[in-house]
Amino acid sequence: MVHLEESRPNSGRREPKVERLDKTPAALELSQISQYEQIHCQPYGIPHKRIGDVILPAFLKTDQLFDLEERWQVGEKDVLLALSPGLFPNIQVLEPLFELAGDPMPQEPAGPVQGACAFRERMLELIDDKEVRIRGASGARCLFSLLPPWLLPQSFGKVAVFLADPRYLIMRQLQLWEMFKRCHADKGKGCGCATLQLQESDFLRSYLEEDCSLSGEEMTRLARWALEEYRQPDKVKIFFVEDFVAEPDVALRGLARFLGVPDDAEVLEKAISKLEAMRPHGLFYPRQDMLELQHFLTVTHKFEQLMADLPSNLQSIWEERVSLWPRLPNLRLATLGQSLQNHRMWVAPQWWAAHSAELCKPCSFAPRGICRSGEDCEFCHAPSHRAPLRRPSKKERLRRMRKSARESEGSRGRTPSPDGLSS
């Protein structure tokens, strides 16, 4: 169980404190680990395993998750891409990210099966002797994972966390559960209690009622990543997938800067070109009858519609989870948290992408509340930017001009001192 308490950090900003009361994986006995191999079917009728409040796919070997750092020999050169299960993207989207980290995918011609197998070797949770030996020519490796932060090794050099509106991520988990169900059915390993198709309303109800979730409860897991970013800003950084869809150039440059890739590097330009070419087809959701950003909003709006029809006790559970977010140290997540509390959609203004990438130019008028462009302004309005010094009034400027003129005239009309006398 993860308990959240509120405390005030040295910066003066209210930071939620995450305290883990259960034992860490390193402290677990073998007898305790064996219980995590038990197969569960409820609440969705789909076989899965559990570690505490974390639901994991049934095909994972949970006993191997407790020594990932030793098995993979994770070092300071290695990079981890942390994904939410509801954000599991197409293989092609992660390829340019692997290249930025200095560990590109194999370039040999390969079909879908071979490509999927090569991609599979980068998943931290899936372990065999071949995967552990993988290391790029530069000595760096880039892996990805759907595990929550408290089950991940701490020795990665860089951790890039990709997230979106948690309402979208929760609803998209339904697609992953459907995929698990099909896989079990194809292999004849289903438990026989699964329904023909999971309904969205039933899924959301179960999500709030149960005390365990796929890869950990979404709100708590993302909040934990925000705290890790606050505590280790040089090692952990949050990236919003909406920025990669709307501003791929800016988003990739922000990621490259975090990974230490120069702004003029050829690998960065190639990554931008690849992402731009993929964007018309959809980066994180296949384009069909709507724009990808519109798809994010549509799914989020569906979540709020379903939430409004749930009993008050389940709505209270959601309100309790949301109450943490406006106090998160990540400014963008805190702003999103206010929209979550008000049950409203929130589309980040265009300057947020540059601000998240640390490439923004502050607006001189926004801190004084006199910017006429509002959210359409090309310059950054983030509250973290300090207001510029107040411009002197017209009266003060005239007084300074007259004083400067008098001093200038006095120096020109001054009689020179005789030789031998001091001035």
Domain count, the chain: 2
- Angle in degrees, 0-180, between the axes of helices 218-231 and 331-341, rounded to the nearest 10: 150
Q: Is 379 contained in some domain?
A: yes
Same domain? For 319 and 359 the reply is no
Residue that is last in its domain, among 346, 378, 401: 346
How many C-beta atoms surround the C-beta of residue 382 within 10 A?
Answer: 19
Identify the CA nearest to 136 among candidates 122, 115, 151. Answer: 122
Residue 413: the pLDDT is 60
Identify which of 196, 105, 190 has the alpha carbon closest to the alpha carbon of residue 143.
105
64 and 148 belong to one structural domain = yes
In a domain? residue 408: no
Query: What integer pLDDT is reported at residue 19 of this predicted model?
Result: 43
Using alpha carbons, list the distances in angstroms from residue 310 to 13, 171, 207, 306, 344.
Answer: 34, 15, 12, 7, 17
Residue 257 covered by a domain: yes
- 225: which 2 tokens? 């990543």
Dihedral pair phi/psi, residue 363, rounded to 5°: -80, 130
Q: For residue 415, give the amino acid letter.
A: T
**Dist CA 324 CA 341 (whole Å):** 10
- H/E stretch holding 333 reads helix 331-341
Q: Which residue numbers in the chain have pLDDT < 70?
A: 1-34, 89-91, 107-117, 128-138, 186-196, 288-289, 368, 384-391, 410-423
- 3 state SS of 239: strand
Considering the entire predicted model, what is its pTM? 0.78
Tell me, yes or no, whether 79 lies in a domain: yes
Is residue 131 packed enough to be buried (19+ CB in 10 Å), middle (13-18) or exposed (0-12)? Answer: middle
Residue 239 and residue 366 in one domain: no
- Whether residue 392 is contained in a domain is answered as no
Nearest one of 390, 394, 365 to 379, comparing CA atoms: 365
Flag whether 394 is in a domain.
Answer: no
Q: What are phi and psi of 238, to 5 degrees?
A: -95, 135
Token pair belonging to 307: 């939430």
Residue 25's Cβ-side half-sphere holds a number of Cα atoms within 13 Å equal to 19
Whether 365 and 239 share a structural domain = no
pLDDT at 122: 84
The residue out of 319, 346, 373 marking a domain boundary is 346
Cβ partners under 8 Å of residue 70, min gap 6: none
Residues 331, 226 share a domain: yes
Q: Helix, strand or coil for residue 97?
A: helix
Q: In this structure, is residue 420 part of a structural domain?
A: no
Do both 193 and 50 map to the same domain?
yes
379 plus 276 within the same structural domain: no
> How far is 94 from 119, CA to CA, in rounded Å?
9
Q: What is the pLDDT of residue 8?
A: 33
pLDDT tens-place string over residues 103-161: 887 766 555 555 566 777 888 888 765 555 556 556 788 999 999 999 999 889 999 99
The verdict on 301 and 353 lying in the same domain is: no
- Residue 108 is classified by DSSP as S
Q: Is the four-CA dihedral 372, 376, 380, 386 of positive or negative sign?
A: positive
Q: What DSSP designation does 199 have?
A: -
Q: What is the dihedral of CA 177, 51, 310, 298, to 10 degrees?
A: -40
Residue type, 38: Q
Residues 45, 115, single domain; the answer is yes
The residue among 346, 378, 404 that closes a domain is 346
Domain that holds residue 112: 2-346
The 8-class DSSP code of residue 123 comes to: B
Q: What is the CATH number of the domain that holds 253?
A: 3.40.50.300
112 and 209 part of one domain: yes
The Cα–Cα gap between 94 and 239 comes to: 14
Q: Tell whether 188 and 319 lie within a shared domain.
A: yes
To 10 degrees, what angle do helices 200-209 and 166-186 make? 110
Question: Is residue 376, in this structure, part of any structural domain at all?
Answer: yes
C-alpha to C-alpha distance for 391 and 89, rounded to whole angstroms:
49
Element (H, E) at 55: strand 54-57
Same domain, 226 and 282: yes
As a whole number of angstroms, the distance between CA 203 and CA 44 comes to 8
Residue 402 DSSP label: H
| Angle at 402 (CA atoms; ends 398, 408), nearest 5 degrees | 145
